[in-house]
């Protein structure tokens, strides 16, 4: 700029105060719209550290403080389960925790779901469906019926292993 104006930088720099900022990370001048956008929390931390050694960066600190976004509380955060940054494991864990039905409520859950969605194709798999002799038949039914929900109970098998997985294949297409 000093070349364009044919003046030393010190002559016009005070006129640009608040409109241009020396970025302490790059040591380059940036316009206010560039410097005061992006990850302004990180930029504030960098400017704060730089201001300890050079008071010229105090202007940066004040400007960055004025553009800090408000912290959001949990109720203000909206996440779609199909968001590309969510892992499949996180979505599965969330759905599992949200929709797990305790054994003693499996029948009630199924009844209430059918009351809410009378035409829904729901497969309820109980302890007897997971018996070795019945498993193939239960899984065949699940494949043939293409249910919108499969509700299956938790129970512990004879070797102490957990068998069954709460509600699985929850794809409500109602």
Over residues 99-109, the mean pLDDT reads 68
In a domain, 159, yes or no: yes
pLDDT at residue 57 is higher than 90: yes
In a domain, 73, yes or no: no
Q: Which domain holds residue 23?
A: 2-66
Nearest to 122 by CA among 132, 113, 135: 113
How many domains, in total, are found in the chain? 2
Is there a single domain that holds both residue 107 and residue 157? Answer: yes
Q: What is the pLDDT of residues 35-48, one digit of tens each?
A: 999 999 999 999 99
Is there a single domain that holds both residue 164 and residue 86? Answer: yes
Q: What is the pLDDT of residues 133-169, one digit of tens each?
A: 877 777 777 666 665 555 555 444 445 444 444 444 3
Is there a single domain that holds both residue 94 and residue 150? Answer: yes
Is there a single domain that holds both residue 161 and residue 102? Answer: yes
Is there a single domain that holds both residue 130 and residue 161? Answer: yes
Is there a single domain that holds both residue 47 and residue 89? Answer: no
pTM: 0.46
In a domain, 71, yes or no: no
Q: Looking at per-residue confidence, does 86 or 162 come out higher? A: 86
In a domain, 74, yes or no: no
Over residues 22-38, the mean pLDDT reads 94
In a domain, 72, yes or no: no
Is there a single domain that holds both residue 61 and residue 83? Answer: no
Q: What is the pLDDT of residues 112-137, one digit of tens each?
A: 777 877 776 666 666 677 677 877 77
Domain finish residue from 29, 44, 66: 66
Domain finish residue from 17, 44, 66: 66
Q: Map the chain to HEC letters.
A: CHHHHCCCHHHHHHHHECCEEEECCCCEEEEHHHHCCCCHHHHHHHHHHHHHHCHHHHHHHHHHHHCCCCCCCHHHCCCCCCCCCCCHHHHHHHHHHHHCCCHHHHHHHHHHHHHHCCCCCEEEECHHHHCCCCHHHHHHHHHHHCCCEEEECCEECCCCCEECCCEECCCCCC
């Amino acid at each position: 700029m000093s070349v364009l104006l044919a003046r030393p930088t010190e002559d016009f720099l005070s006129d640009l105060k608040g409109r241009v900022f020396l970025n302490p990370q790059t040591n380059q001048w940036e316009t206010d719209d560039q410097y005061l956008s992006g990850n302004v929390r990180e930029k504030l931390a960098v400017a704060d550290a730089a201001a300890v050694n050079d008071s010229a960066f105090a202007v940066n600190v004040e400007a960055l403080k004025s553009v800090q976004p408000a912290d959001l509380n949990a109720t203000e955060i909206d996440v779609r389960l199909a968001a590309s940054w969510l892992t499949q494991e996180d979505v599965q864990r969330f759905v599992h925790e949200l929709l797990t039905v305790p054994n003693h409520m499996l029948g009630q859950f199924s009844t209430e779901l059918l009351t809410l969605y009378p035409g829904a194709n729901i497969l309820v798999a109980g302890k007897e469906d997971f018996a070795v002799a019945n498993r193939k038949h239960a899984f065949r039914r699940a494949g043939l019926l293409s249910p919108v929900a499969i509700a299956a109970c938790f129970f512990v098998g004879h070797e102490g292993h957990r068998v069954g997985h709460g509600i699985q294949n929850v794809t409500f297409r109602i």
